[in-house]
Amino acid sequence: MEIAPGHKFKTIEEYFAAFPERTQQLMEGLRATIKKMAPEAEEKISYNMPAFMLEGMLVYYAAYDKHIGFYPTPSGIEAFKKELAGYKGAKGSVQLPIDKPLPLDLIAQIVKFRVEENLDKAREKKRK
């Protein structure tokens, strides 16, 4: 399916349906891993891509022609920069090639880190 410029996705399912089956399978695996590590997180579309919220933004992800973008915020990238060294990325993102298996164990660790970070920040705010 060709995504029209400016198209706004309303649901995760609609987002997934816009991509080839192989990409959908990768995103389903990524989504399941995030849900497993953050079962209390709320799923939504934010910035026109799938996202998870838990006491604030947790992680985003998005599909592209040759990779899945995973966005665990700059702190999530920084905390795992050694493990992510083999991937292209930027301050708050990592590109996971579509032609290779996703590093779901590493993604699980990053999501767990982000959950703990967000919950710690929320507890800190409540103390003030």
| Six-digit token string for 62 | 């998005």
- 0.85 surpassed by pTM: yes
Q: What is the pLDDT of residues 36-57, one digit of tens each?
A: 999 999 999 999 999 999 999 9
- Within 15-107, strands assigned E span 42-46, 49-53, 57-63, 67-71, 89-90, 93-97
Q: What is the pLDDT of residues 70-107, one digit of tens each?
A: 999 999 999 999 999 999 998 899 999 999 999 999 99
Give the Cα separation of 78 and 68 in Å (integer). 19
- Domain spanning 12-127 has what CATH number? 3.90.1150.200
